């Protein structure tokens, strides 16, 4: 049996990543592919509990960068072992909303944790698993934040702990992603997501079909 393809979606805040991931999975299913959706942090019972821990600081105890890094890694390790590897082995494709590049971008470029160490710890967490393709949904920080504001207003939601970081942090994250795309040009496909949703999703679909057929 052919192993499933592992497809990850990445990007800064407000890139529309999660909506694109959902639409992509629906299209793949409609086209007759076996596919599951996953997200990080989360996707397992442990992961969803970690996600809650990561969303807000305890009032008197800010989360340190290293503790934050290991929480993301723990969620990832569980997701890889419990969900992603078993699905791929059964020939099921996996579309994951964020994966290892998020840690490089946010904790590495954003927080300043050493990138080589992050890559090493990550390799342990994912048991060597790498995405077949990573769709980097790129958007200028200012536009991403405008979208985020609209989304939060519609959902009557507040910014979470990471969304509340200064603009400089989010600029480093975006630049970090662009750096990662230059470092791994064969794996990471940058897609400008400031345009019309349906056209952007069409482009994602074309890239994914090529990976699945290839
Ligand atoms: P999201 O579900 O809106 O993408 O939220 C996840 C948040 O967690 C987002 O702000 C990015 C952040 N994050 C990291 O900082 N490091 C990571 O490794 C992952 C997976 C997410």
User: Domains of the chain: which residue ranges?
Assistant: 6-213
- Is residue 162 lining ligand 1, measured as CB closer than 6 Å? yes
At 196, list the tokens: 């019309």
Q: Which residues contact 110 (CB under 8 A, 6 or more apart)?
A: 165, 169, 170, 172, 173, 176
Return the pLDDT at 214: 84
Name which of 133, 167, 163 is nearest 149 in CA terms.
163
Return the pLDDT at 21: 97
- 96 Cα: distance to centroid of ligand 1 (angstroms): 12
- Is residue 109 lining ligand 1, measured as CB closer than 6 Å? no
The pLDDT confidence band at residue 156, using thresholds 50, 70 and 90, is confident
Return the pLDDT at 58: 78
CA-only gyration radius of the chain, Å: 17
- 41 Cα: distance to centroid of ligand 1 (angstroms): 7
Instruction: Report the nearest atom of ligand 1 relative to the CA of 106.
Output: 15
Return the pLDDT at 74: 98
- Is residue 75 lining ligand 1, measured as CB closer than 6 Å? no
Helix (H, G, I), strand (E, B) or coil at 10: strand
- Asked whether residue 211 carries a pLDDT value surpassing 80, the answer given is yes
Mean pLDDT, residues 153-180: 94
At 54, list the tokens: 């990561």
Q: CB burial class (10 A; 0-12, 13-18, 19+) of residue 89?
A: exposed
- 198 Cα: distance to centroid of ligand 1 (angstroms): 24
Query: Taking a C-beta distance cutoff of 8 angstroms, is the pair 7, 93 a contact?
Result: yes
Q: Whose CA is nearest to atom 7 of ligand 1?
A: 162
Sign of the alpha-carbon torsion through 127, 130, 131, 134: positive
Return the pLDDT at 139: 97
Return the pLDDT at 53: 93
Sign of the alpha-carbon torsion through 135, 101, 26, 129: positive
- Is residue 41 lining ligand 1, measured as CB closer than 6 Å? yes
pLDDT in tens, 114-145: 999 999 999 999 999 999 999 999 999 999 99
Return the pLDDT at 57: 79
Return the pLDDT at 158: 87
Mean pLDDT, residues 184-199: 96
The whole-model pTM stands at 0.96
The CATH number of domain 6-213, selected from 3.20.20.10, 3.40.50.10680, 3.40.50.300, 3.30.70.360 = 3.40.50.300
Higher-confidence residue of 103 and 58: namely 103
Return the pLDDT at 4: 98
pLDDT in tens, 12-71: 999 999 999 999 999 999 999 999 999 999 999 999 999 999 997 777 889 999 999 999
């Amino acid at each position: 049996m052919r192993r499933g393809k592992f497809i990850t979606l990445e990007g800064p805040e407000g890139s529309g990543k999660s909506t694109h991931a959902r639409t992509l999975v629906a299209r793949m299913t409609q086209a007759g592919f076996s596919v599951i959706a996953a997200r990080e942090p989360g996707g397992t019972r442990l992961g969803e509990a970690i996600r809650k821990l990561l969303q807000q600081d305890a009032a008197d105890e800010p989360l340190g960068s290293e503790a934050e890094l290991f929480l993301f890694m723990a969620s990832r390790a569980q997701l890889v072992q419990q969900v992603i590897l078993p699905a791929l082995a059964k020939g099921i494709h996996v579309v994951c909303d964020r994966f290892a590049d998020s840690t490089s971008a946010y904790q590495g470029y954003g927080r300043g944790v050493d990138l080589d160490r992050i890559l090493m710890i990550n390799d342990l967490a994912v048991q060597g698993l790498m995405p077949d393709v990573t769709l980097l949904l790129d958007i200028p920080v200012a536009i991403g934040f405008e979208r985020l504001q609209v989304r939060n207003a519609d959902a009557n939601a507040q910014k979470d702990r990471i969304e509340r970081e200064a603009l400089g942090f989010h600029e480093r994250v975006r630049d970090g992603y662009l750096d990662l795309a230059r470092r791994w040009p064969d794996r990471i496909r940058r897609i400008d997501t400031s345009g019309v949703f349906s056209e952007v999703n069409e482009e994602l679909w074309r890239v994914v079909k090529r990976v699945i057929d290839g």
